[in-house]
Amino acid sequence: MARVDVTVMGAGVFGLSSAYACARRGARVRVVEWSHPGAGASGTPVGALSPHVPEQWNPKKQFQFESLIASAAFWAEVEAESGRSTGYGRVGRYQPIAGEKALARARDRALEAGTLWQGQASWQVIRADEARGLVPETPSGWLVHDTLSARIAPRDACAALAEAVRAHGGEVSCGAEGPLEGRVIWATGYPGLAELSADLGHQVGSGVKGQAAILAHDAGAVPQVYADGVLIVPHADGTVAVGSTSEREFDDPYGTDARLDAVIDRARAVCPALADAEVIERWAGVRPRARTIAPMLGGWPGRPGHFVANGGFKIGIGLAPKVGELMAALVLEGRDDIPEGFRVEASL
């Protein structure tokens, strides 16, 4: 490219979704990545796209809800333009209910969801014997079944987004540094939070290590499970991903250890169907967590023409459809629709 309108630093899901949204608007885009699409936290095998509970509603929950609703059409479009699968499927989610108090709370949330989710998804209380697939152990005999949760194969999704950017004339340059031409979006994960903190003289975020595993078990297109702090996600390729840990202190960002063994053991206890499933991959990475725990989006303070898209933490892939649109509108049109709690300044 002789000239670039937007340079995106980082080919994780925030960087690629921003690049894709810019390219679809006709901008000339270059994505610069040190390794390959999804090399950082976006390469997690888990791929759980799940909502916050439908209560105590706030702008963050509304933003997430809108993005999760938009996800089916968004990822279908990415698949069509890239010719690659993303593994997306709105399969729902089961959560066990511990006892009578939890059962009453779950039923209250079901009523709240009827209003807050606008009839586009439901939060139901069902008996465990009505469930199918990976049915978790539940002391009460009852489960929450929400129909908003979805699964995705994060690595495949990042690869598909990269191809979709190319399909719109964009460039995805991996393994090499590129010039910072045009406006620049910094989507560089937890190292980017450290760089931003150093530049601003204020700790705006940090990295939280997560460990996950892939098990050989073909559960089919059935609901994912969240129980005992463990995510259990059946994927379309005949595997089940389980995760993850949350480690604020760590020596080896990419090493797995006994903490992951404990997660796998809990997953097997929660879903006995996984008891003999072979572990075929162990994974570790560091997720970018902004100080507010919300995504960090907007202009880089004191650096005109530079922008930040970071802090996806545990929900970044689910937010990607709307994050990309917000960043493209800001960078290309100067339209700032970023929620107050998502701004870089909110972490200062």
Scored b (16 or more CB within 10 A) or e, 288-299 reads: bbbbbebbbbbb
CB 254 within 8 A of CB 58: no
* Position 149 confidence tier, pLDDT thresholds 50, 70, 90: very high
Report in angstroms the alpha-carbon separations of 162 from 30, 122, 265, 306, 311.
11, 33, 35, 21, 20
Model pLDDT for residues 155-199, shown as the tens digit of each residue = 999 999 999 999 999 999 998 777 899 999 999 999 999 999 999
* Position 307 confidence tier, pLDDT thresholds 50, 70, 90: very high
Model pLDDT for residues 191-247, shown as the tens digit of each residue = 999 999 999 999 999 999 999 999 999 999 999 999 999 999 999 999 999 999 999
Q: What pLDDT shows up at residue 1?
A: 47
Neighbours of 42 (CB within 10 A): 27
Residue 2 reports pLDDT greater than 60:
no
What mean pLDDT do residues 238-258 have? 96
* Position 95 confidence tier, pLDDT thresholds 50, 70, 90: very high
Residue 126 reports pLDDT greater than 90:
yes
Q: What is the DSSP letter of 148?
A: S
pTM for the full predicted model: 0.96
Its sign, for the CA torsion 106, 109, 114, 120, is: negative
Q: What pLDDT shows up at residue 313?
A: 95
CA 187, 188, 191, 194: dihedral to nearest 10 degrees? -20
Residue written as tokens 């796998």?
Answer: 264
CB 93 within 8 A of CB 348: no
Name the token pair of 346.
Answer: 């909110």
Model pLDDT for residues 29-85, shown as the tens digit of each residue = 999 999 999 999 999 999 999 999 999 999 999 999 999 999 999 999 999 999 999
Greatest CA separation for the chain: 65
Name, in order, each residue with C-beta under 8 angstroms of 13's C-beta and a sequence gap of 6 or more: 38, 42, 154, 157, 158, 161, 312, 316, 317, 320
Give CA–CA dist 75/87, Å, rounded.
9
- Any idea which of 127-141, 171-185, 269-283 has the lowest mean pLDDT? 171-185
> 102 by DSSP, 3-state: which?
helix
Report in angstroms the alpha-carbon separations of 126 from 8, 36, 59.
45, 42, 29
Residue 144 reports pLDDT greater than 50:
yes
Give CA–CA dist 236/238, Å, rounded.
6
